[in-house]
Chains A and B, each alone.
Chain A
């Protein structure tokens, strides 16, 4: 990879240790993706916020880094482990809360916008088409590329952080060429968001870094986010196209058999002790939808609803949150289903959710069983 004189001197440590570390990461990912140069980005979205995922080593790294590091471009943040507004209601250990507070402060000190959301594409104004960004959250990277017409690779927590600190990224892979060599035909009739999530999970397993999906004429927001979440969980694919794809592309079907295999992999229980909605977090449109589905009905067990802080505030003004709380929902912001310590295997054996991404992490990281159901099925079975 060709570096400018200034980039070269930063890599040698002449602009301090932080820049040296950032450029070392950029050079490694540049080599890994055969980049020829670095290009500027306008927006970085960072993962690595939840103490559950980054642990003591991550907390200490960020604390040290924040002593002198400042982000150079607009930088937003993924969810953390819990919602500070309601954490006292949960039986969470003091150490977790303190470490999470430290991580939050480190990012704020570096000038990061404390958005704590995995759906930055729904709560911030999108830059113009074709803008280079660096999104670490996988569902957000896939959404940014496929729906918002931005350009990002499926960044890692450190590559996005290095881009935030330098304002640059290696020019490679999906930033240059995104032409898929694989077309997956969606053969499920009238698919709901669960089917789209499983399609995404399947696509992530079989596709390289981009894929065409045929047989889908339209998708609502919930299904689209479910597809992005599922795809980001299982593989390296960072972009999808809807259409027929190239004539010479490899073609495979996603039919009942493929869907059943994914379902059997992720569904491990026929019931849930609690319900979680979100992962990705719900946007205003989905909150509005949920509140109308819940008219006159109430949940018979705990139902945690995850949405960004700004969405909760808007929903409160409009009155949606009243309806959700009346129906028994706990509304939580700044955190999400994936890896929240609020779902504790010592207290809960199984969770009902419509999130494929959530299902993978609930099972593998939180260590609880998962009962997969679509949202309409959840409302039908779990409310009165």
Chain B
């Protein structure tokens, strides 16, 4: 699978995937990482320490601060993989040093799979369970 690097880094963890865009300011608790938007399919789940796979960020420009706050409270995802780029997620990850890539084959990423993302080696390794 190929991907475009937006923020460099390396991370290993379990994919938490949604096909619904995320409004970080409106939908994510900045201290715990729990999604509290009742209209979102990840409602009640924490994105902490996951490899968060989602289409793109939407909504308020302040969502970038939410990403930075998640990192400061140690509740951030280990990495983020998106289908499309958006400025809030890209800039939030850049400031918080959270590895972030755009995947060309977004549909092939499956929820619950263990993966290793390493932007230096240009590889996204997916381990089958």
Q: Which residues of A does B touch, CB under 8 Å?
A: 21, 24-25, 27-29, 31-33, 47-48, 50, 53-58, 60-61, 136-138, 153-160, 162, 204, 232-236, 265, 360-361, 364-365
A136 CB contacts on chain B under 8 angstroms: 61-62
Given A29-B87, A31-B6, A54-B69, does the pair A156, B26 have CB atoms closer than 8 Å?
no
Measured CA separation A28–B61 after assembly (Å): 16
Chain B residues whose C-beta falls within 8 Å of the C-beta of A47 in the assembled complex = 60-62
Contact with A along B1-32 (1 / 0, CB 8 A): 00011110000000000000101011100110
Whole-angstrom distance between the alpha carbons of A58 and B60 in the complex? Answer: 15
Return the contact of B62 from the options A21, A48, A61, A360 (Cβ within 8 A).
Answer: A48
Give the complex CA separation of A56 and B31 in angstroms: 10
CA distance A234 to B69 in the complex (A): 22
B54 at the interface (CB under 8 A from A): no
Among B92-100, B104-112, B121-129, the stretch in contact with A: B92-100
Q: What's the least CB distance linking A27 to chain B, in Å? A: 8
Tell me the nearest residue of chain A to B25, going by C-beta. Answer: A53
Give 8 pairs: A residue, B residue, CB < 8 Å, sorted on A: A28-B7, A31-B4, A57-B65, A57-B72, A58-B69, A136-B62, A158-B64, A159-B90
Asked if B68 and A58 sit within 8 Å, CB to CB, the answer is yes
Given that A48-B62, A136-B61, A160-B61 are contacting pairs, would A61 and B91 also be in contact in the complex, using a CB cutoff of 8 Å? no
* Alpha-carbon gap, A159 to B6, bound state (A): 14
Asked if residues B26 and A364 are in contact (CB atoms below 8 Å), the reply is yes
A208 to B62 Cα, complex, angstroms = 20
A21, B95: Cα distance in complex, Å? 7
Residues on B with C-beta less than 8 A from A138 are: 59-61
Q: 16 additional contacts, CB 8 Å, given A55-B30, A56-B69, A156-B87?
A: A24-B94, A31-B4, A31-B6, A31-B85, A48-B64, A53-B60, A55-B65, A61-B68, A136-B61, A136-B62, A157-B63, A158-B65, A162-B91, A236-B58, A361-B60, A364-B36
Cα A156 to Cα B63 with chains together (Å): 8
Which residues of chain B are near A61, meaning CB under 8 Å?
68, 95
Interface of A is mostly: helix
With a CB–CB cut-off of 8 A, which chain A residues contact B58? 204, 234-236
Minimum distance in angstroms from A39 CB to a CB of chain B? 16
Contacts of A236 in B (CB 8 A): 56, 58, 84, 86
Contacts of B64 in A (CB 8 A): 48, 156-159
5 A-B pairs with least C-beta separation: A32-B85, A28-B94, A57-B72, A158-B91, A32-B90
Q: Give the chain A neighbours of B7 by CB distance below 8 A.
A: 28
CA distance A48 to B27 in the complex (A): 17
List of A residues within 8 angstroms of B93 by Cβ = 28
Instruction: Find the residue from A25, A153, A157, A162 having the highest chain B CB count within 10 A.
Output: A157
The distance from the CB of A99 to the nearest CB of chain B, in whole angstroms, is 13
Q: Does B37 contact A (CB under 8 A)?
A: yes
Q: A29-B94, A160-B61, A233-B59 are in contact. Are A364 and B4 (CB under 8 A)?
A: no
Q: In the assembled complex, which residues on chain A have CB atoms less than 8 Å from the CB atom of B23? A: 364
Q: A47-B61, A138-B60, A138-B61 are in contact. Are A153 and B69 (CB under 8 A)?
A: no
- For B94, what are the chain A residues with a Cβ–Cβ distance below 8 Å? 24-25, 27-29, 158
Given that A156-B88, A360-B26 are contacting pairs, would A32 and B62 also be in contact in the complex, using a CB cutoff of 8 Å?
no
A96 to B84, CA, bound (A): 36
Given the contacts A21-B95, A29-B94, A137 and B68 also touching, CB distance less than 8 Å: no
A360 to B59, CA, bound (A): 10
* CB atoms of A54 and B62 under 8 A apart: yes
| Chain A residues within 8 Å of B71, by CB | 57
CA distance A40 to B84 in the complex (A): 25
Q: How far is the CA of A159 from the CA of B94 in the complex (A)?
A: 10
**CB of B117 within 8 Å of the partner chain:** no
Chain B residues, CB < 8 A from A137 = 61
Which of B21, B26, B84, B102 contacts A361 (CB under 8 A)?
A: B26
Q: What is the minimal beta-carbon distance from A108 to any residue of chain B, in angstroms?
A: 19
Contact B91 A29 (CB under 8 A): yes
Given A57-B73, A235-B58, A236-B58, is A31 in contact with B65 using a C-beta cutoff of 8 Å?
no
Tell me the bound Cα distance from A25 to B65 in angstroms.
13
Interface string of B39-67 (1 = CB under 8 A from A): 10000000000000000101111111110
Q: Which residues of B contact A233 (CB under 8 A)?
A: 59-60
What is the CA–CA distance of A86 and B62 in the complex, to the nearest angstrom? Answer: 25
CA distance A60 to B26 in the complex (A): 21
A56 to B86, CA, bound (A): 24
